[in-house]
Chain A
Amino acid sequence: MSGQKKKNFQIEAFKHRVMVDPKYAEKTWKILEHAIQEIYNHNASGLSFEELYRNAYNMVLHKFGEKLYSGLVTTMTSHLSDISKSIEAAQGELFLEELNRKWLDHNKALQMIRDILMYMDRTFIPSTHKTPVHELGLNLWRDVVIHSSKTQIRLQDTLLELVHRERNGEVINRGLMRSIIKMLMDLGSSVYQDDFEQHFLEVSANFYGLESQQYIESCDCGDYLKKAERRLNEEMERVSHYLDARSLEKITNVVEKEMIENHMHRLVHMENSGLVNMLVNDKYDDLGRKYNLFRRVANGGLLIVRDVMTSYIRDTGKQLVTDPERLKDPVDFVQRLLDLKDKYDKIISLAFNNDKTFQNALNSSFEYFINLNARSPEFISLFVDDKLRKGLKGVSEEDVEVVLDKVMMLFRYLQEKDVFEKYYKQHLAKRLLAGKTVSDDAERSLIVKLKTECGYQFTSKLEGMFTDMKTSQDTMQGFHESLGAELGDSPSLTVQVLTTGSWPTQPSATCNLPAEILGVCEKFRSYYLGTHTGRRLSWQTNMGTADLKAIFGKGQKHELNVSTYQMCVLMLFNNADRLSYKEIEQATEIPASDLKRCLQSLACARVKSVLRKEPIGRDIAEDDNFSVNDKFSSKLYKVRISTVAAQRESEPENQETRQRVEEDRKPQIEAAIVRIMKSRRVLDHNNIVAEVIKQLQSRFLPNPVVIKKRIESLIEREFLERDKNDRKLYRYLA
């Protein structure tokens, strides 16, 4: 054996270590085992990390990794079973604390062991696909301590018991709870789920099932919701304090299901405190709570709330619009509608989080019941009229806008927008001619709104009316400038030239004007036709007003503001003291109904009647006689004699307007039919009707029967023909 070679071939290299000692591995392991024990006994301060690490390193280096690893597993397992026993021995309350303390100890020890065995952890374990030390420690803890037959159930029960006690209002040690739950999570999410979460959810479901049953028997809806909300918040708080964040959804689902979903219908329909009651009493808090809780229920929680609300609004609205009492006062009627709308808008914005679906439900309900009353368009127009005549005096511009916006909102709900247009035109004409508009800005602003809502054609005539007023002013100025000298002291005349078509003209019932006026009128006519050739002027005496200066019996001077008809009547008394009805009718040729109304306003007013009627009575009869009331008195110099003009249309007038609307609709329907057929050439009846309705619904809802009539009329006029084979098909000619 050559010494030289032997030296080169020295596996036990340069130091004192190793193979020479066959018991080397055993000895080293004893040292390490002892160290692990000392670490678990909190005696580590006597151990040298450097030495232990070196020993562990050498063991692995010399291929004793397997021995080291299995030794570690055995030692740790035996330690953990000791720990497990001591935990099991802990009594009552101390159980969790003991467990927690041991867990913290184990964690610390595990860290130290891992540091000592770092070399094994970094080389031997990855190459042999073993479990790393830290994970191994956790797994052993799980298997030996947590899943030991006695501890597993006990731990579970203790935790659930604590949760239960906290739910019943007791104060528990949340810190301890948190660290125990954290331990379960550290051991792997499946441990947390299987050993705690799953049971926790079951127990919670039972608990809340019972509790909700109890509450719903004893509480009203508001209280119940408060309790449910509090429970929900408690559970969320619990999760944030000591549970895994991933449990949040699961536990809230349980609470939602048990407390809300299972009792949903009962909560909504509860007597005296259900949804309807909340709506009636504007209980925003309760409604908000209900909304928030029901929103959590996945399928259709809000649907129920919405349906109940919708049907309730429809009921109340229907009651409102069909109540005959309400029909007497249109302004009040519309105001109530607006109030109703405001109420629910407020509920939706305060309690329902401005939920779009709720807004839609509200809108459709309004649309539904507003159109139940055929007079809604008229009333809305009257409401506007009222506001623009007087309601808006002294109100700031912003407030005017608010009112107008609200009106527009109601307008949007209307199906028969053309009816509204009709009425609006009439009312606007009266306002303009009588000079009663409070604010031009407000008028124009409303027209702009209508224009944006319905388009140009809807408002073109209304705008035409404004233009007429303006040009008339210019015309009158020109008239007075050119003929001012000639007119002398004849009555001053103000003429408004109205374009036919733009204005709602009634069949003009002319009357005999007094001679003084007639002269001036003729002068104007010749002036006007002189500047505008090819036009025709006709006098609308039923729409004018006049200011008369009158001296009564005791010399009282008054200026009387009267209508043109009234002026004609009064002028007659310049030449006579006493006139009979027949005489007046003959002299003026005012239509009977108008004359009666005009006389009524002159003679039958309770205090300030200008004429005296014989016999005295409220109604005008054909054989009545009239004379000037010398005793007329008034504190004011200017006296306005109001016409007894029904604001609301009388029944026959209403019928008439209806009829005119229907007449106006005919050409529109026909135009729509022709437009459709022109593009489609051939179409069957049902489709035509559907398309026509679609095209016109922004203005009104055409009646299919009317459409059919229009089609027939068009066939007669040879715009369309029926298909020869299929009688249902129409064909476009021309």
Chain B
Amino acid sequence: MSPTRHNNNLPNPNSWTISTDLDGMDLDPSDFGSSIPLKKVPNGDVFEASRAGDVDRLKYLLESGVNVNARDQWDSVALYYACLAGHLDAARMLLESGAICSEHTFDGDRCHYAALNLKVRKLLKAFEARPPPLGPLQAALRDTFLACAGNREYSDHPDYGVSSNGGSSSYHFPPDVVFVVQGSPIEAHRVILSARSPFFKRKFETDWKDRKEVRFAREKLSYTALYSLIHFFYSDRLEIAVDDMEDLVRICKVCKCDSLQRILEKELIHQKFAEYKALRDVDNSQKRFILQGLSLPEEDRLPAALHQILQISLANSTREHNQDNNVEELSYNVGAMQINDVVDDLADVCVRVDKNIFRCHQVVLASRSEYFRARLSRMKDFYEGKDALPVDALPCLDEHDLRTEAFEKMIEYMYTDGLKDIDPDQAEEMFDAASRYLLFPLKRAVADVLLPHLEMASPAELCHWLILSDMYGVFKIREYCLDTIACNFETFADTLEFRAMLLTLPPPSGDSSLRTTAPSAPGAVVNTDQANLLDDLREKWLEAEAAELDKRDESALLFDKRLEMLVLVAEREKSDGAPADDIHDGCKSPVSPPTSFPMPSKQEERV
């Protein structure tokens, strides 16, 4: 099954949020709890928090962006302390934030040796076997890189090769430049390299401007080192054999990747001393060094680099509303003008949204969105591919039904994984764009931004969001709304909008076999996408309000009747049109439905 089956409501497997299923690990949830009360270190750093097992402090520190793989003055990483002290939950939190535990790395080996007990070791093993935690942007670009035929051979990680976009798309986006080093090819995309390295940027503007293939004849240039570096450019994750590190430092010097070079040099010195500390019999050729993007200064990470590229592109994009001009003409003029004047953004595609033209990069669009991938490669037979474009003009994609602001936000997310200044009013547009362009991580990002705003939302607005989130499949928002409605059911029942909404929803399933009267296990995955909203609402309501187990069926029956009644009321309101006000007024006084039918509540039961 393709992992995307649950994409719209479950975390994307590559995005690495905390998930409850740790396959292949027979650790009980109870293992994570601690038997003794843990010390709190409210002002401690990440090392102290890990050593003490102070999960709250640790969570706060990690969310504030501390480098999880940093070493302290005793050469130890935070994970080392957590393993040493046997704090499973702290260790897991660190691992989920990208702490390195791979074998043959200095820190990874130390953590394995230091693991207090078998449980800790099992946890480390389980995380070692998983794909590295990467952001959606990094994961998508890495997939694009690894899918290039020339690169696949070298990649010895079978799990990396699996396309995260599901089995149906074995297609990959083709590279636009090939480097040949020591006889082996490395395929890459100009814009990524330019974004990450001033050296490549300059070269692509000058010497290599029109070349598809660049051959390096110098013997000294190491293929594995360059491959690691380019892989790093795409994924913000560097994995390299210690033996190759000196080569890589030299390459970094040429490529002007200063911060990376500094870290590597420091690490090289450290490796020399590390030999005394590590086990002697570890073969040097096996030793690896892994660097997460987090260890770099923020401005040197992939999102920042692409953000810069995006800024340049946007600056070059025309935003003038040349209403008089024929649209066709405009695109041609613009295309020609852009090619002649501007080259420093390396844009290779234009997107026209609402009469504005955005200069973009095919590789980013195609990596992030399956829609664009199809659009950029398989349009021959459609109208869009009918006219051969002038050779010197950029291909231009027309996107309708989309507002410029939403598109801008969207491409910002596509380039940087970041989402700034989302207005709740804009959220709906963003959901639409995310769904339409199959950018499922964006939905979650928007949801995260939106969620704080919902706390202040009125019941009417919540109804609105419930409908929207159900439509766009935004699991998080939908759950939130349902929870709120279930807990405050009577308040909602009083609102006109809620009743009006009931009319638009499909009726609850009459099939009683679908009703689960037993409380569902916490955390169990319910396939909510196809589920009926009202069914889910009943579940929530039962969880919140219902009586003891043996009375659940009765409670459910009561709820169904109440719903029926509300629907009747809503229908009457709709046909009358006017009486809505009456009901609305009634809101202030206790509800008085036509037939008095008090809702049982827990309090009443107990009385």
Contacts and interface: CB of A to CB of B under 8 A. Distances in A.
B8 interface: yes
A132 B168 contact: yes
A115 interface: yes
B168 A121 contact: yes
B15 interface: no
Contacts of A51: 400
Interface stretch (A7-15, A25-33, A432-440): A7-15
A324 B156 CA distance: 73
Interface stretch (A42-50, A217-225, A583-591, A615-623): A42-50
B386 interface: yes
Interface in B164-210: 166, 168
A5 B471 contact: no
Among A1, A47, A108, the one with the most B-chain Cβ atoms within 10 Å of its Cβ is A1
Contacts of A118: 370-371, 374, 438
B438 A54 contact: no
Given A45-B383, A47-B383, A118-B374, A11 B497 contact: no
Contacts of B463: 9
A48 B435 contact: no
Interface in A112-168: 112, 115, 118-119, 121-123, 126-128, 132, 134
Contact of B460 (A9, A47, A112, A115): A9
A49 B7 contact: no
B515 interface: no
Contacts of A57: 435-436
A61 B370 CA distance: 17
B384 A119 contact: no
Tell me if B's interface is mostly helix, strand, loop or mixed. helix
Nearest to B472: A61
A9 B386 contact: no
B530 interface: yes
A62 interface: yes
A147 to B, nearest CB: 25
B436 A45 contact: no
B375 interface: yes
Contact of A127 (B384, B435, B501, B527): B527
A38 to B, nearest CB: 10
A111 interface: yes
A47 B460 CA distance: 41
A53 interface: yes
A50 B399 contact: yes
A44 B379 CA distance: 10
B580 interface: yes
A224 to B, nearest CB: 47
Interface in B502-551: 504, 527, 529-530
Contacts of A10: 464
Given A14-B429, A49-B384, A123-B8, A54 B401 contact: yes
B527 to A, nearest CB: 7
Nearest to B579: A1
A1 B581 contact: yes
Contact of B497 (A9, A14, A111): A9
Contacts of A115: 374, 378
Nearest to A63: B471
A614 B119 CA distance: 116
B428 interface: yes
Contacts of B529: 123, 127
Given A112-B381, A134-B168, A119 B436 contact: yes
A331 to B, nearest CB: 63
A112 B382 contact: yes
Contact of B384 (A48, A62, A123, A126): A48
Interface string B449-482: 0000000001011011001100111000000000
Nearest to A60: B435
A10 B497 CA distance: 10
Among A2, A10, A49, the one with the most B-chain Cβ atoms within 10 Å of its Cβ is A49
A119 B435 CA distance: 8
Tell me if A's interface is mostly helix, strand, loop or mixed. helix
Nearest to B425: A14
Nearest to A17: B401
Contacts of A17: 401
Interface in A54-80: 54, 57, 61-63
B461 A50 contact: no
A112 B379 CA distance: 9
Contact of A61 (B2, B471, B578): B471
Nearest to A55: B401
A39 B381 CA distance: 9
Interface string A326-368: 0000000000000000000000000000000000000000000
A163 to B, nearest CB: 32
Interface residues of B, number: 55
B429 A9 contact: no
Interface residues of A, number: 40
Nearest to B457: A8
Contact of B435 (A1, A50, A61): A61
A475 B428 CA distance: 120
A115 to B, nearest CB: 5
Interface in B354-395: 370-371, 374-375, 378-379, 381-386
Interface in B245-264: none
A128 B529 CA distance: 9
A660 B374 CA distance: 98
A14 B8 contact: no
B577 interface: yes
Given A50-B384, A54-B436, A121-B168, A13 B428 contact: yes
Contacts of B500: 9
B77 interface: no
B222 interface: no
A119 B436 CA distance: 7
Among A8, A9, A17, A46, the one with the most B-chain Cβ atoms within 10 Å of its Cβ is A9
B551 to A, nearest CB: 33
Nearest to B578: A1
B464 A8 contact: yes
B436 A127 contact: no
B275 interface: no
A47 B379 CA distance: 11
A50 B397 contact: yes
A112 B378 CA distance: 8
A44 B381 contact: yes
Given A15-B401, A115-B374, A119-B435, A127 B5 contact: yes
Contacts of B375: 49-50
B5 A46 contact: no
Interface in B1-20: 1-2, 4-8
A128 B381 contact: no
A54 B401 CA distance: 8
Contacts of A8: 458, 460-461, 464, 497
Contacts of B381: 39, 44-45, 108, 112
B408 interface: no
B490 interface: no
Interface string B235-279: 000000000000000000000000000000000000000000000
Given A48-B384, A61-B432, 11 more contacts: A1-B577, A1-B578, A9-B501, A14-B428, A50-B375, A111-B378, A112-B378, A118-B371, A121-B168, A122-B4, A126-B4
Interface of B: 1-2, 4-8, 166, 168, 370-371, 374-375, 378-379, 381-386, 397-401, 428-429, 432, 435-436, 438, 458, 460-461, 463-464, 467-468, 471-473, 496-497, 500-501, 504, 527, 529-530, 577-578, 580-581, 584
24 contacts: A1-B577, A5-B460, A9-B460, A9-B463, A9-B497, A9-B500, A11-B468, A13-B428, A14-B428, A44-B382, A44-B383, A48-B382, A49-B384, A50-B375, A50-B397, A53-B371, A54-B436, A62-B471, A119-B438, A122-B4, A122-B438, A126-B2, A127-B527, A127-B529
The 9 closest A-B pairs by CB, nearest first: A126-B5, A127-B529, A49-B382, A9-B497, A44-B381, A48-B383, A115-B374, A45-B386, A127-B530
